[in-house]
Structure 1
Amino acid sequence: MLITAKGYKLLLHFIWTLLLAVVLSTLAQTQLNLLALQQLGVVIPASERWATSWHDIRHFAPVYAALLSVSYGISQGVALGLRRFIVLRWQPALFALAAGSGLWCTLLLVNAVAPMPTLIAASRSLMGMLVLLLIAALAGALFGRAVAAKSYLQNSRGGPARPTSTAVWLLPCLLLTVLNTEPASANSDYRVDTVVQGLEHPWSLAFLPGGTMLVTERPGRLRLVHADGRLEPEPIAGLPEVFASGQAGLFEVLPAQDFARSQQIFLSYACGSRRANHSCLASARLDLSRLELTGLTEIFRSYPAKSGNAHYGGRLVWLGDGSIVLSLGDGFDYREEAQRLTSHLGSLVRLWPDGTIPADNPFAAKRGALAEIYSYGHRNVQGLVYDSANNQLLSHEHGPRGGDELNRIEPGRNYGWPVVTQGIDYTGARITPFTAYQGMEPPLLDWTPSIAPSGLALYQGDLFPQWQGDLLVGALAARQVQRVRLTSQGAEVVEVLFTELQVRFRDVRTGPDGAVYLLTDEPQGHLLRVVPAALPAMQ
């Protein structure tokens, strides 16, 4: 049966109440995000507030409209089917309850299947979630009131219309794709050999004396690779209990500076449960003859506990004085914690190898601050390297959509997240109005669109003299390694490498033999060795 004139009016009521909910929800999302920044002491001028609101209307609203139209269409269709059993005056309440419940279920479902823990940032808090649900309920109540008042569901004979004559048809949701234009790989004279294959999401690579290598696998295994490239069949025993889920798992392995004598290694990993987890650091002695760890001791656990399974950081590096720096992510849903010195989230921490806190840490004497913090305002640092020749610590971190950063780390400095970023949220919403803010450090290099940097090495080998002193930046999303050169103005990309492999690069290392070693982030990941094309293959 064709839709009647009254049916078209019903459709118009559905559309305008849906649009009302989208606009109000978008403005609420914007103001809640800005409120979170204000609570950090950030001053937001009225002009920036209006500009951010307008940006979100243009970029976030279409994404939210696609999501809400599905939940709103289904929920209001259900309410239309149930209204005949409800007294007329209570029907708006029925439509309101259906709209709010439908959105709540949709957000739960989206968060369960999306890569990030929470897709719509406003729903991270109870207050934000309630605001979004109440706006949906308001739209539902208005739609239900129109249905009850106008009796749109009566057919020409006065009886209830058939469902086929009053169905509300929704346009298919558009799939939003972020386009990432990638420069062509330069014509470098190298060869890529496969050393080991079949590693499950390998995360970190470390070299031991004599050419032996250690590789971590994110699910919680530590593997030994012999100097000739043979992978020991069984993982090393005695590892700590690892929380492995999503981005959580076993991260970095770092041998002690005196490993030849002490046989000591350090491991960073996620510990706890999905509802309450931390980034942890442990030390142990590696018994190579028995392939097991002994004397395992946890020396650091991040504070506070967080839920979810995203953004842990996990990189480790030695500084010139023998202290260790560990990177910690912001936990995704906890981004404002990166600006608080009472939280380890979104910071770099510095420790002595026994877990004690260096007395010269920048906040060691600051009342109320966590003394381990070395720098803060980071999102998710997954690349750390110490340049001993220039006594500088360099890091890179993931931005959201855009805003990946390369930074030179100075103790006690604030690197801006989430007050400052070049990126926007995955939904298109602005995270902040600011790309620069007083007292916050600008990056040496910014990647927008995002390349998802992971793994960072300073090339100091002899096999590729033209790369000497350059940084090698692995990239997950861009599936490449970028050669980056530091300049007086910051840093610049001078070459894009290994795009022909079309794999996600998790770690990049300069080997003691001068070769470049790569780990690919795959269920069946590879350990690769890059050498000049003229060099004989690894035997």
Structure 2
Amino acid sequence: MLAVSAWHKPLLHVIWTCFLAVLLSTLVQTQFNLLALQQLGVTIPFSERLATSLHDVRHFAPVYAAIFSCSYLVSQGIALWLSRWVAGRWQPALFALAAASGLWCTLMLVNALAPMPTLIAASRSLMGLLSLLLIAALAGAIFARALQPLPSARPQRALDASALVVLLPLLLSAGLVSPPAMATKSEYRVETLVKGLEHPWSVAFLSGGAMLVTERPGRLRLIHIDGRLEPEPIAGLPAVFASGQAGLFDVLPAPDFAQSQRIFLSYACGRMRANHTCLASARLDLSQLELTDVTEIFRTYPAKTGNAHYGGRLAFLDDGSLALSLGDGFDYREEAQRLSSHLGSIVRLWPDGSVPEDNPFVGQPGALAEIYSYGHRNVQGLVYDSATKQLLSHEHGPKGGDELNRIEPGVNFGWPVVTQGIDYTGARITPFTAYQGMQPPLLDWTPSIAPSGLTLYQGDLFPGWQGDLLVGALAGRQLQRVRLTGQGAEIVEVLLAELAERIRDVRTGPDGALYVLTDDGRGRLLRVTPALDGAGAKVH
């Protein structure tokens, strides 16, 4: 009982001050997120503000508690140990400084380890970060005041208490439950054409039967008509910024490639603290395996920091113009609602980089003329249906809220004012799943499948798939067949789930087969064709 009485008081104080800090930080986080929307001109009724605050207390607070408690318990344990040499009146400052420093270090560590640049959205701004640190400091100061006078005659007790506080995070645990993978009866066969590709991103077909594949680290590879991978990458690529999600993205031959030998490449350019999505045009010399006449024809504005959310898909429209999808840069999600920024938009250009005069915002003051549609998060699927004159795209949502959209010029697709998803921390990004003047999706995926790669099937090998969309899934590790239904769309079938591999790209080949890239350090190019029965006939 004596041993317990030596440490139970500081332990109880650290628990309730930790709880107080988590609650206050959650409410502050919510208000900063809502303030960012208000600065876009969005009206947020008090009822929605209250509902969002309560949602975040329930869903964000446990995540933040795990992060904060680790930093707080360790920092306050260290402060308890140091308090033996600090005068009583300075102890609140010591504990406050320890708590704020511990949280700052923890947030920096989490951001370095997490796949996204900034995990806690409020800390994207200096004021938001300072607010969280001040709350941590307040909790530390209150903790110190609650302990005074600290036991000076028994310094070992303070040391015992600090050790227990530091070890307490080991008692915390969390579990994540993943939904079971969807299964479907296989009536197709899969063969590996090429393996050993380093995070392949895009595949394109050349006249004559050869293929090009991009690798995200910054290599363009040639696959010969016989399926043989050329050992050396094609030379002459522009400088690529490769880090995290940044790298070499799409490759698209010009419609007249047989005559012009021209291709288009999208890629990340710049450096960690100032980078862009860029688009270049080049001539491909197959005899020398090099690019010549390489010209950058587009670069996003403004520059951004970090290495996430670039978009990068390309598609030609029937008038010869070129559409390029872009991302919001993750930390810059509000930019998707600003026409003065390319982030979070789809742009439309002529192949020389000039702007079509009928783009929707040409001549509008303060708007970038290249923008074709906006309010997107991270568009990684883009295809043009020449039969229906439709440009279709899909984009990543956060935790849920992936979208399939029919793109129309000048239309606002809502992000981040509207989404079906929530942040990775469980916090609400917005109170709204619909908002006046913003286009709803044809289909949304919640939970997220992380869609990447999109093709419109128009081949002969799978007659029942004519006009359907094939959607790759990174997190979902599958391929989904989707059918447009008037004003919406529906999932018809799940394919390739048995492979349990991240799907980065999917294309319809000239032979009617599906060509699929898996996203891995040793990724593969797969060919999907109808299954054969025992007599060698196709199974339908």
Distance 1:235 1:269, change over 3 A: same
CA–CA distance in 2 between the matches of 1:160 and 1:497?
63
Q: Partner of 1:163 in structure 2?
A: 159
Q: CA deviation at 1:165?
A: 5.3
Q: Partner of 1:84 in structure 2?
A: 84
1:337-385, Cα deviation, whole Å (9 max, x unpaired): 0000000000000000000000000001111100000000000000000
Give the one of 366, 373, 376 matched to 1:375. Answer: 373
1:464-484, Cα deviation, whole Å (9 max, x unpaired): 001111000000001100000
Q: Partner of 2:109 in structure 1?
A: 109
Is 1:350 the counterpart of 2:348? The answer is: yes
Distance 1:258 1:239, change over 3 A: same
Task: Write the mapping of 1:153-232 to structure 2, written as runs, cut at 5 A.
Answer: 153-154=151-152, 161=157, 163-164=159-160, 167-168=164-165, 169-171=167-169, 172-177=171-176, 179-185=178-184, 187-232=185-230
Q: Partner of 1:366 in structure 2?
A: 364
Give the one of 255, 274, 294 matched to 2:253. Answer: 255
Residues 104, 133 of structure 1: 8 Å contact kept: yes
Residues 2, 165 of structure 1: 8 Å contact kept: no
Task: Write the mapping of 1:251-290 to structure 2, written as runs, cut at 5 A.
Answer: 251-290=249-288
Moved more, 188-197 or 442-451: 188-197
Residue 328 of structure 2 aligns to a residue in which SS? coil
Aligned residues: percent identity?
A: 75
Q: Partner of 2:494 in structure 1?
A: 496
Q: Partner of 1:20 in structure 2?
A: 20
Distance 1:409 1:109, change over 3 A: same
Q: Partner of 2:240 in structure 1?
A: 242
Give the one of 315, 331, 334 matched to 1:333. Answer: 331
Q: CA deviation at 1:492?
A: 0.1
Q: CA deviation at 1:176?
A: 4.4
Q: Partner of 1:128 in structure 2?
A: 128
Gaps of 5+ in 1: none
Residue 170 of structure 1 aligns to a residue in which SS? helix
Q: CA deviation at 1:159?
A: 5.6
Distance 1:225 1:322, change over 3 A: same
Residue 314 of structure 1 aligns to a residue in which SS? strand
Gaps of 5+ in 2: none
CA–CA distance in 1 between the matches of 2:35 and 2:44?
9
CA–CA distance in 2 between the matches of 1:438 and 1:2?
65
Q: CA deviation at 1:180?
A: 3.1
Residue 67 of structure 1 aligns to a residue in which SS? helix
Residues 217, 223 of structure 1: 8 Å contact kept: yes
CA–CA distance in 2 between the matches of 1:322 and 1:173?
58
Q: CA deviation at 1:433?
A: 0.3
Residue 192 of structure 2 aligns to a residue in which SS? strand
Residues 503, 519 of structure 2: 8 Å contact kept: yes
Task: Write the mapping of 1:288-303 to structure 2, written as runs, cut at 5 A.
Answer: 288-303=286-301
Q: How many residues align?
A: 532
Q: CA deviation at 1:496?
A: 0.3
Q: CA deviation at 1:170?
A: 1.9
Moved more, 213-222 or 7-16: 7-16
Residues 154, 160 of structure 1: 8 Å contact kept: no
Q: Which amino acid aligns with 2:256?
A: D
Q: CA deviation at 1:488?
A: 1.9
Q: Which amino acid aligns with 1:9?
A: K
Q: CA deviation at 1:82?
A: 0.8
CA–CA distance in 2 between the matches of 1:386 and 1:256?
14
Residues 384, 394 of structure 1: 8 Å contact kept: yes
Residue 247 of structure 1 aligns to a residue in which SS? coil
Task: Write the mapping of 1:93-104 to structure 2, written as runs, cut at 5 A.
Answer: 93-104=93-104
CA–CA distance in 1 between the matches of 2:176 and 2:455?
31
1:309-340, Cα deviation, whole Å (9 max, x unpaired): 00000000000100000011000000000000
Residues 399, 424 of structure 2: 8 Å contact kept: yes
Q: CA deviation at 1:84?
A: 1.7
CA–CA distance in 1 between the matches of 2:172 and 2:438?
40
Task: Write the mapping of 1:397-416 to structure 2, written as runs, cut at 5 A.
Answer: 397-416=395-414
CA–CA distance in 2 between the matches of 1:381 and 1:53?
29
Q: Partner of 1:533 in structure 2?
A: 531
Task: Write the mapping of 1:389-400 to structure 2, written as runs, cut at 5 A.
Answer: 389-400=387-398
Q: CA deviation at 1:154?
A: 4.7
Residues 23, 61 of structure 1: 8 Å contact kept: yes
What is the root-mean-square deviation of aligned Cα atoms in Å?
1.5
Residue 122 of structure 1 aligns to a residue in which SS? helix
Q: Which amino acid aligns with 1:76?
A: Q
Q: Partner of 2:514 in structure 1?
A: 516
